[in-house]
Chains A and B, each alone.
Chain A
Amino acid sequence: MNRRTVITGMGWITPLGHDIESAWARLRKGDSGIAKTTIFDAGTFPTQFAAEVKGFDLKAFLGDDYETHKDVSRQAGFALAAAKMAWKDAGLDAAADLDKTRVGVYLGGGEGPIDFHNFTTAAVEGWNYEENHLDTKRWADVAYERLQRVMEAEQEPNMAAGHMARLFGVEGPNFNTLTACAASTQAIGEAMNLIRRGDADGMISGGCHSMIHPFGTTGFNRLTALSTRNDSPSTSSRPFDRTRDGFVLGEGAGMVILEELSHAKARGAKILGEIVGYGSTADAFRITDIHEDGRGGIAAMRTAMEDAGLRPEDIHYISAHGTSTVENDKIETLAIKGVFGEQAKNVPVSSIKSMLGHLIAAAGSCELITCVLAIRDGIIPPTMNYANPDPLCDLDYVPNEPRKADVKTCLSNSFGFGGQNNTLAVTAFRE
């Protein structure tokens, strides 16, 4: 007996808005969520802009539950709000006899931001300049005085998933995966497999992350992975454009409710789409570079299509990982050609990272949600800021304008640092 996995609820907190419809409207318009960094003063950093979530109010989403969860880290707050949105969207707040031991969580949650001021203070006070080493006695004295128990605990990457169990009372399997930029695509794929096998009837899945903090920006700046177009933040993310110079850090959360089909039908849930295939592979090549043949991405897409029983001509849209780094966009293009051959140029490919920035662990789930909306409305979101064709990137990237199209089946790609490749196949629901 084949257990099918459908999507019955969606929610997101993004740099372009805090509800599904308004952020989707802005994505269709080609708006940019990217601007000068305000979370910290990045004025001297190589990159001084980001795609921030603005005016977020966790209390507005959690209501009476806010007090219980008020100490969550920034990204876990995004996750709880997006999950609450998805839960309501699925009508689960009104579901009377839900067996909550059969509902779980599979999150691609990032670590919480470090308590920066107190952390740096302890580090600097503890440094022995004469002998050039950390004096752990002095460090400990300052650390014990300044670091706070709850704030430290809430940095653990599995805390958001733990809070969700409490918030929704769900006692089923509870996972957090953190495969860098591929995490939430991985989470949804693995959650689908849990449902398919019968280990759960419902899963709250997706991802959350915020690395817009001094250490996150430092880390990616040192890797020279970020765009440094400080004079023009809103056009800085330009996937597949020849002048692209790196990705733009974003933050947020994207959450979906996955349900086994008969479970969803039995409670009369509206069905938004179906996850039909998932592929996960490792490049096993280098921690810094993608394998130059794109073999990992090729294998991930092929596995997802085989899993779903889809042929290349069945795919109407590919939501690309499309980070706007020189390497990713070139090799992802190569990988798509590796899978689709002659037909590659006929498949629309776009990257909403051109507007939303790169939400890291949360990127994949937000892109999957976009695929579901593209299917629903028959509109493919554009790749913005595409101006200069790159001979190595020669596919149909849906440049600068949204496109009306009959979209029934999509692939959503996510590729992470270290060679993590994950692809999901999602379709319109048919009986």
Chain B
Amino acid sequence: MKKHRVVITGLGVASPLGLGITETFDGLVEKRCGLERLKAFDPSHFSSRIAGEVEIGKVQNYVPKGYRKATKVMARDIVLAVVASYHAVKDAGLKTKCIVDRGEADGLPDVDSTRFGANIGAGLICADLGELAGALATAAQRPDATGDRGFSLAKWGNEGMTNLTPLWLLKFLPNMLACHVTIVHDCQAPSNTITCGEASSHLAVGEAFRTIERGAASVCICGGAESKINPMSLARQSLMGRLAANGDSDPTQASRPFDTSRTGMVISEGGGLMILEAMEHAQRRGARIYGEIVGFGAAASATHWMNPAPDGRALSLAISKALADADVSPDKVDLVNAFGVGTKEHDIAEAAGIRKVFGDHTATVPVLATKGSLGNNGAGSGAIDLAVTSMAMHRGVIPPSLNTEAVDPACGLNVVCRDPIDCRADVALSVASAMCGGQTAALVIRRYQA
């Protein structure tokens, strides 16, 4: 069976550094930080009070006019995906339903909707607590009490629940990111939603790569989005003991991938969606090609689903498979984009997995890490990373990892820090690991040559 070659033709990002890949990439190169004191709610009684937040403006501006009403049932995660999707199709020059509706389709060739697929990673979407708590509060047994107010399930069933909008549930189903995106851009080909924490984006992009490779679609919009900027997610991460300490005095220094003084991660949000296309399809419409996806590998930790194994075995398996799939030997890899979330143990495990594959080459291969500026964007982090990596190859610049000042000898990676460096990479590897669940994934991007 003939395999189609798959190229990257569009990058869409909504990150704490801005909207669009250029804003985010330039921000990284200029060493800007998207992390600051959390503004979305009062975080003063939480153990961490800093975050990366995305400034979006109105999501209504990113959908066809007839679809504006539907933005009312979009959780923040969905909004991030929809915004990123606009930037991705715009960047790719794709004439989608949304682009036509906005009157921005002049000169663009038609896209066959039945050959346009989606594969979007999502997190465990948190209910909007302000909305849900308000409804739950109507079912309190003693609303006037200062404590021990008691929640009455009987009151809730009787009338409390009617305080929720009828479509309430649809705001939080993980597949709604893909559903809204496929509606807004009219993508009717295979559609999937991967929910594997921080590995979601890589797994979704990998699956989209396979979908096009086997000919089931010609174009796919793929990546992921998530927001951890809500009280529930912050409390969860805090309970898991993963958050950076002492961020209050200077939030911009809190997230320190692979640095000896790192103390944990910073919660964040973001969306990254890429346009993958069968090479012939992209060539036919004269698309700009950022690079070619040539390898995908996935593996899981059989040691534990929560605690990273210090030897990074699962990640090393994923990398080896991706390189074998690409038919590339480790010494031919010119750039590694690491997950680098900034907790002691995750960075050590990740670095071990990388070293295991690269051996002596580890000392020389440059490592690109973005979380110092972006924090942990959850299911969206991987696609933002992939977009940044594609851009690094395209622009010929590797942005430095903010706050990585002295690389932890226990990690032993050649992290690009302090200043941006020239990038002449022909082959780049990007990796991700789920912080809960043990899933890992790796993708290989090659400089495009027809």
Q: Tell me which residues across on chain A come within 8 A of B214, comparing CB atoms.
A: 193, 197
Contact check, A123 vs B300: say whether CB atoms are below 8 A apart. Answer: no
The 7 tightest CB contacts between A and B, nearest first, are: A219-B169, A418-B179, A162-B305, A44-B157, A174-B300, A282-B191, A127-B137
Q: How far is the CA of A125 from the CA of B142 in the complex (A)?
A: 10
Q: How far is the CA of A25 from the CA of B363 in the complex (A)?
A: 62
Q: How far is the CA of A282 from the CA of B192 in the complex (A)?
A: 9
Contact check, A45 vs B207: say whether CB atoms are below 8 A apart. Answer: no
Q: Which of A234-280 contact B (CB under 8 A)?
A: 280
Q: Bits for B123-153, please: 1 = Cβ < 8 Å to A, else 0.
A: 0100101101110110110011001111101
Q: Tell whether B450 is near chain A: CB-to-CB under 8 Å.
A: no
Q: How far is the CA of A137 from the CA of B44 in the complex (A)?
A: 7
Contact check, A100 vs B302: say whether CB atoms are below 8 A apart. Answer: yes
Q: Tell whether B122 is near chain A: CB-to-CB under 8 Å.
A: yes
Q: Tell whether A346 is near chain B: CB-to-CB under 8 Å.
A: no
Q: How far is the CA of A407 from the CA of B443 in the complex (A)?
A: 42
Query: What are 8 A-B contacts with C-beta separation under 8 Å?
Result: A120-B151, A138-B45, A162-B436, A174-B438, A175-B194, A222-B164, A284-B185, A419-B182
Contact check, B45 vs A218: say whether CB atoms are below 8 A apart. Answer: no
Nearest-CB residue, chain B, relative to A157 = B195
Q: Bits for B297-314, please: 1 = Cβ < 8 Å to A, else 0.
A: 111111111100000011
Q: Tell me which residues across on chain B come within 8 A of A417, comparing CB atoms.
A: 170, 173, 175, 179
Q: Tell whether B414 is near chain A: CB-to-CB under 8 Å.
A: no
Q: Tell me which residues across on chain A come within 8 A of B188, comparing CB atoms.
A: 281-284, 295-296, 299
Contact check, B156 vs A214: say whether CB atoms are below 8 A apart. Answer: yes
Interface size of B in residues (CB-CB distance below 8 Å): 102
Q: Bits for A113-142, please: 1 = Cβ < 8 Å to B, else 0.
A: 000010011011111010011111111110
- From A129, A168, A177, name the one whose CB has the most chain B CB atoms within 10 angstroms: A177
Contact check, B182 vs A284: say whether CB atoms are below 8 A apart. Answer: yes
Q: Tell me which residues across on chain B come within 8 A of A157, comparing CB atoms.
A: 124, 174, 195
Contact check, B179 vs A419: say whether CB atoms are below 8 A apart. Answer: yes
Contact check, B149 vs A162: say whether CB atoms are below 8 A apart. Answer: no
Interface size of A in residues (CB-CB distance below 8 Å): 96
Tell which of A49-57, A146-154, A373-381 binds the partner.
Answer: A146-154
Q: Which of A162, A186, A221, A282 contacts B182 (CB 8 A)?
A: A282
Q: Tell whether A310 is near chain B: CB-to-CB under 8 Å.
A: no
Contact check, B136 vs A287: say whether CB atoms are below 8 A apart. Answer: no
Question: Assuming A127-B133, A166-B304, A171-B300, is B179 touching A282 (CB within 8 A)?
Answer: yes
Q: How far is the CA of A417 from the CA of B73 in the complex (A)?
A: 14
Contact check, B195 vs A177: say whether CB atoms are below 8 A apart. Answer: yes
Q: Bits for B199-223, please: 1 = Cβ < 8 Å to A, else 0.
A: 0000100010010001010000000
Q: Tell me which residues across on chain A come within 8 A of B317, comparing CB atoms.
A: 101, 171
CB distance from A153 to the nearest CB of B (A): 5
Contact check, B143 vs A129: say whether CB atoms are below 8 A apart. Answer: yes
Q: How far is the CA of A46 from the CA of B70 in the complex (A)?
A: 26
Contact check, A284 vs B175: say whether CB atoms are below 8 A apart. Answer: no
Contact check, B175 vs A180: say whether CB atoms are below 8 A apart. Answer: yes
Question: Assuming A136-B43, A420-B179, is B231 touching A159 (CB within 8 A)?
Answer: no
